Amino acid sequence: MSVPTPSWRPLSPAERAVAIEVLTGGPLSRSAVARRLGMSGASLTRLAKPLIDAGLLVEVPAEAAPPAQGRPGQPLDIVEGPWHFVGLKITDDALYGVVTTLKSRVVRRETRPLTDRDPAAVAELAGFLVEELARDHPRLAGIGVGVGGRVRDRSVVAESLFLGWQEVPFAELLERRTKLPVIVENDVAALVESETWFGAGRGLDRFAVLTLGAGIGYGLVIGGTPVRSVDEGYGLGRHWIIDPAGPLTPEGQRGSAVSMLSIPGIEYQVQAATGTRIPYETILELARSGEPLASRVIAEAGRALGILLANIANFALPEKVLLAGEGVGLMDAAADTVSTALAAHRHPAARPLDLETKVSDFHDWARGAAVLAIQVLVLGGRDGG
């Protein structure tokens, strides 16, 4: 890249806390930031000044702040320009890319078919896409990449069944191609971080994310911080048994969450019974119209989803659960069945589960990867799992 990348200095823990508070809640008055962080106004002023001098925070006109945010004329906000970030999501057949501002606002979306899963070929395709994005957004500060699988040190794809990769130093490959810093992370972990900062989990103490798609993803937030584990990316949904007598598919144990709820699992069940491969969305449409086979498969999936949500609610005790991913159409096709199974597997006196369903595409996953890049490269983010 012809434009040099910015050199944000490392932030102290207190400075980082101020920056994140303004990033996720701004514009905010100094008094509001100080109150939320439990610090004095003098301490907040001392911490904010170097962040303003460094071009990370900016004072904005009072009218830009929400009403009753404190002393007028002093609201703080994150500087959105001039730098942008690229987020990439790699699937088995496509590369999805977004460009975001420092506040994670998406300003461009692109998709490219992936015909060669060789790591060098994927890095080359990603490099071409970044070059194209840089023509309209020349000040790119970094790249975040989301991959289904296990990622080590936010740089090496230790294993990805979807891509057939093992021990691939993808951050190094892409950095060499683009001359930009690259952060690689498990795609579900990136999505959870994004939703915790900017989405359904914003401001919550305990929050869970369940994703339905090519596989089953799960993430948990406690104390406002995502719980990280060395087991992330193993595809634990293949061993999360919901019905021991349930369907057996090539992608999971009998009656597992993957067998019963993933898009390939549902498609496989219908294909095994009919001899014809029917796309997932068509299966949902057939079930809504009352076609017997599709209705049975989707009803079983709906019961499985209700049980899975009840297990999460019973043991993780979240304030809210976000159901996301390209397979969430199941919730609409089997809403009553899901609700019945959810209620049947919870205590009658338990409070209703706050469940939010988000119809998302792979660009949302790419945005999550961009948020990770912002978190790590700008704010000195959390250590990788």
CATH of the domain at 145: 3.30.420.40
Model confidence at 111: pLDDT above 90: yes
Whether residue 229 contacts residue 215, with contact meaning beta carbons closer than 8 Å, is answered with no
Whether residue 139 contacts residue 83, with contact meaning beta carbons closer than 8 Å, is answered with yes
**The length of the chain, given as a count of residues:** 385
**Are residues 353 and 216 part of one domain?**
yes
Strands of 263-361 (E only): list them: 320-324, 355-357
Question: Predicted confidence band at 230 (pLDDT cuts at 50, 70, 90)?
Answer: confident
**Are residues 88 and 73 part of one domain?**
no
Q: In angstroms, rounded to a whole number, what is the distance separating the alpha carbons of residues 143 and 299?
A: 41
- Cα–Cα distances (Å) from 343 to 213, 243, 308, 355, in that order, read 24, 17, 11, 13
**Are residues 105 and 22 part of one domain?**
no
**Are residues 109 and 35 part of one domain?**
no
Residue 161 lies in a domain: yes
Model confidence at 91: pLDDT above 50: yes
Terminal alpha carbon distance of the chain: 30
Residue 385 lies in a domain: no
Model confidence at 87: pLDDT above 60: yes
pLDDT of residue 5: 58
Question: pLDDT digits over 188-204, tens only?
Answer: 999 999 999 888 998 89
Strands of 127-215 (E only): list them: 140-147, 150-152, 156-160, 165-168, 182-186, 206-212
**Are residues 139 and 106 part of one domain?**
yes
pLDDT of residue 367: 95
Mean pLDDT confidence for 45-72: 72
Whether residue 266 contacts residue 297, with contact meaning beta carbons closer than 8 Å, is answered with yes
Question: pLDDT digits over 236-259, tens only?
Answer: 778 889 999 988 887 778 999 999
**Are residues 213 and 179 part of one domain?**
no
Domain range for residue 156? Answer: 84-193+363-378
pLDDT of residue 41: 86
| Calculated CA dihedral for residues 224, 225, 226, 231, nearest 10 degrees | -140
**Are residues 341 and 210 part of one domain?**
yes
AA identity, residue 97? G
Residue 247 lies in a domain: yes
Say what percent of the chain tops pLDDT 70. 93
Mean pLDDT confidence for 36-51: 88
Residue 322 lies in a domain: yes
**Are residues 318 and 281 part of one domain?**
yes
**Are residues 257 and 184 part of one domain?**
no
Phi-psi region of 263 (alpha: psi -120 to 50; beta: other; left: phi over 0): alpha
Q: Among 78, 104, 126, where does a domain finish?
A: 78
pLDDT of residue 238: 81
Question: Predicted confidence band at 29 (pLDDT cuts at 50, 70, 90)?
Answer: confident
Question: pLDDT digits over 280-311, tens only?
Answer: 999 999 999 999 999 999 999 999 999 999 99
Mean pLDDT confidence for 34-55: 87
pLDDT of residue 71: 47
Q: What are the strands of the beta sheet with 94-100, ordered from one edge?
A: 106-113, 94-100, 84-90, 140-147, 182-186
**Are residues 248 and 351 part of one domain?**
yes
pLDDT of residue 69: 47
Mean pLDDT confidence for 347-367: 92
pLDDT of residue 320: 97
Number of compact structural domains in the chain = 3
Question: pLDDT digits over 132-161, tens only?
Answer: 999 999 999 999 999 999 999 999 999 998
Strand partners, 209: 219, 322
CATH of the domain at 28: 1.10.10.10
Residue 278 lies in a domain: yes
Q: Among 22, 45, 78, where does a domain finish?
A: 78
Residue 156 lies in a domain: yes
**Are residues 71 and 35 part of one domain?**
yes
Mean pLDDT confidence for 47-53: 86
Residue 1 lies in a domain: no
Segment among 12-16, 129-133, 167-171 with least mean pLDDT: 12-16
**Are residues 243 and 165 part of one domain?**
no
Q: Can you tell me which residue has the tokens 């300003």?
A: 107
Mean pLDDT, the chain, rounded, equals 89
Q: In angstroms, rounded to a whole number, what is the distance separating the alpha carbons of residues 241 and 162?
A: 21
Residue 8 lies in a domain: no
- b/e burial code for range 209-228 (CB count within 10 A of at least 16 → b): bbbbbbbbbbbbbeeeebeb
